[in-house]
A and B are shown apart, each in its own frame.
Chain A
Amino acid sequence: MNITEKILARASSRAQVSPDDVVFANVDKVMIHDVSGPGVIKVFDKLKKQGINVDKLWDPSKVWVAEDHFVPSPDKISAENIVKLSNFTKNYGIEKHFKYGMGQYGICHTLSHEEALVMPGEVYVGGDSHTNTTGALGSFACGLGHTDVAYVLLNGKIWFKVPETLYFKLNGKLPEYVMAKDFILKIIGDIGTEGGAYKTMQFGGGGINEMSVESRLTLCNMTTEAGAKNGIVEPDQKVVDYLTSRGATGISLIKGDDDAQYQKIYEYEGSEMEPIVAKPFSPENISIVREAPSVDLDKSYIGSCTGAKYEDLEAAAKILKGRKVKIRTEILPAAISIYKRAMENGLLKIFLDAGATVGPPTCGACCGAHMGVLAKDEICISTTNRNFPGRMGHIDSQTYLSSPLVAAASAVTGKITDPRDLE
């Protein structure tokens, strides 16, 4: 069995599982946020009316809650959702509730790794599609809707069809100025937004072993954009060190068997990778940055679970140090812990000196909700994950997806720019 199959076999108390088996897996961790949480509460209300007992959760200690999409609250409805969420966690005895304005908070997927909330080998589900992100720690991490999450909260289990696995092997390190974001955009360009549908996307090989945990998080995060059920990397000492430095103990590693089966293996040479953008209106619509259209950009956005981890901010700072931005540039660290480190290490000063605005952690602009929404015909280069029509605002706005290095270089020139071509 490969690592995903082994995790699902253990979670469903079976000796063996194969692709297409349907299992009811025991869940180790579950996450809700200020969009899926109120959705789950609504499902609970429906169940109550049907006479189903929703007085107790299966295990509140395995649940954690993020406030990220509509924070800081842009309007009354959003503010009320935050109140609802607080009442919910209080009533059900959920202690891990990361509230904005009260110490550590941030984007749910970022908290999953920053706060070491998920361990290798665990089954982790969340009420958000980018839950796949956390597979970079070696967990089975999968996004679900409100009904399914409500089911998990009450029952501790959920059904899965065991997925086929696509294996993406990276031979050798990525060159300087090429990031994990470029590699995953290249993969999505090759296999399409449906290329990983219902499947596992596993990453391995020398180039992945060389990668930081944060880079692996970027890879797994974007597997959602290929339709995958989960993204995963076999955990190694880097993951142990990463989690240990964030307070985790008793971490045990898990790997696939030597004779693990994969539906298909794709091989890439690290040395051949280049900076990539995904043009509007799909993450599969890729171009090498040097061949991208010469459009006048209105904004550069460095934020989200995909592109505002500490490493992403460091990359942006490397470009922006001593330079000035030519277009509106918004930088939003994905969690307070990252914000603080960026402040302590002088990154925020670099950003502010360059003329960029630095904002608090939020999903707001990434999903066109608030705090940086695009106007009609505006064109944005963004370190986020999706660029469907209207994703970041007006239906006639456009988003190019890129790495933080490309987004920062483009902020400096106002055009889509390969960081290697900056003067």
Chain B
Amino acid sequence: MKGNVIKYERDNIDTDVIIPGQYLKIHDYAELALHAMEGLDPNFHSKVKEGDFILSGRNFGCGSSREHAPIALSHSGIKAVLALSFARIFYRNAVDGAFLLPIEIERDAYSNISEGDEIDIDISNNTIKNLTKKQTYKMKPFSEIIGKIIESGGLFKYKPIYD
């Protein structure tokens, strides 16, 4: 999966900046996308392209349980968030709803990947190739259940109801 990186070099990007509280009443996915990252980067909507990735530090998505957060990012075109670590509800919302891939990375990837770099994420080999800088980094493998849910395309497909 190839795409370009939008980098936010900071920890604790919380759901209040990913999609501010005033928009929680909105449930139209396209409209939510217009306000993605508005709390941190008002230019996000104009610069994001279909297939882009976000790169950030520790505890990405901390704060509320609002599924609006992965929805707003996903409907902006973001296919994966690469971060040093993730807050739990954001992580499971992203996976169970099949909105985007939460990829846990290590320090070398965080430091070396720059804004605009083109990278190639290979989840079957747990590697990330930086096509711009000709570097390869490791990603943390998904746990067994997360891997299965991702492969199935979300929780409802992994374990259908009334199973």
Chain A residues engaging chain B, CB cutoff 8 angstroms: 22, 24, 35-36, 38-39, 41-43, 47, 50, 52, 69-70, 75, 77-78, 81, 127-129, 131, 143-148, 151, 154-155, 159, 161, 193-194, 197-198, 227, 229, 282, 367-370, 373, 386, 388-391, 395
Q: Report Cα–Cα, A155/B145, bound state, in Å.
A: 18
With A38-B27, A131-B65, A194-B59 given, can you name 15 additional A-B contacts, CB distance below 8 Å? A42-B27, A52-B160, A78-B25, A128-B64, A145-B65, A145-B93, A147-B97, A151-B156, A154-B161, A155-B161, A227-B59, A227-B88, A368-B16, A390-B20, A391-B21
Per-position binary interface string of chain B over residues 11-30, scored 1 when its CB falls under 8 Å from any chain A CB and 0 otherwise: 01010110011101111000
**Chain A residues with CB under 8 A of B96:** 145, 147-148, 151
B46 at the interface (CB under 8 A from A): no
B81 at the interface (CB under 8 A from A): no
Q: Tell me if A143 and B65 are in contact (CB < 8 A).
A: yes
Contacting residues of chain B (17-48) with chain A, CB-CB under 8 angstroms? 17, 20-22, 24-27, 39-40
B62 at the interface (CB under 8 A from A): yes
Could you say which of B39, B96, B162, B163 has the most chain A C-beta atoms within 10 Å of its C-beta?
B96
Q: Tell me if B17 and A197 are in contact (CB < 8 A).
A: no
Q: Tell me if B59 and A39 are in contact (CB < 8 A).
A: no
B63 at the interface (CB under 8 A from A): yes
Distance of A120 from chain B, by nearest CB (Å):
23
CB within 8 A of B161: which of A42, A75, A144, A151?
A151
Q: Tell me if A129 and B21 are in contact (CB < 8 A).
A: no
**Chain A residues with CB under 8 A of B16:** 367-368, 386, 388-391
Contacting residues of chain B (87-114) with chain A, CB-CB under 8 angstroms? 87-89, 92-93, 96-97
- Knowing A389-B17, A389-B39 touch, does A367 contact B64 (C-beta < 8 A)? yes
Count of CB-CB pairs between chains A and B under 8 Å? 135
**Chain A residues with CB under 8 A of B93:** 145-148
Q: Tell me if B89 and A145 are in contact (CB < 8 A).
A: yes
> Chain B: how many interface residues by the 8 Å CB criterion?
41
CB within 8 A of A39: which of B27, B58, B87, B161?
B27
Q: Tell me if A388 and B17 are in contact (CB < 8 A).
A: yes
Q: Tell me if B17 and A193 are in contact (CB < 8 A).
A: no
Chain B residues engaging chain A, CB cutoff 8 angstroms: 12, 14, 16-17, 20-22, 24-27, 39-40, 58-59, 62-68, 85, 87-89, 92-93, 96-97, 143-145, 154-156, 159-163
Q: Tell me if B161 and A77 are in contact (CB < 8 A).
A: no
Could you say which of B12, B27, B64, B163 has the most chain A C-beta atoms within 10 Å of its C-beta?
B27
Distance of B72 from chain A, by nearest CB (Å):
12
Q: Report Cα–Cα, A390/B63, bound state, in Å.
A: 13
Q: Report Cα–Cα, A390/B26, bound state, in Å.
A: 18
Distance of B22 from chain A, by nearest CB (Å):
6
Nearest A residue (CB) for B42: A395
Q: Tell me if B39 and A146 are in contact (CB < 8 A).
A: no
Distance of A397 from chain B, by nearest CB (Å):
12
CB within 8 A of B143: which of A47, A161, A368?
A161
**Chain A residues with CB under 8 A of B67:** 36, 39, 145-147
**Chain B residues with CB under 8 A of A368:** 16, 20-22
Q: Tell me if B88 and A198 are in contact (CB < 8 A).
A: yes
Report 29 cross-chain contacts, Cβ distance below 8 Å, ordered by A residue: A22-B144, A35-B24, A39-B68, A47-B156, A70-B24, A77-B25, A81-B27, A127-B65, A129-B63, A143-B65, A145-B65, A147-B67, A147-B96, A148-B155, A154-B162, A155-B162, A155-B163, A159-B159, A161-B143, A161-B145, A194-B12, A367-B16, A368-B16, A369-B22, A386-B16, A388-B14, A388-B63, A391-B21, A395-B39
Q: Report Cα–Cα, A193/B20, bound state, in Å.
A: 19
CB within 8 A of A22: which of B97, B145, B162?
B145
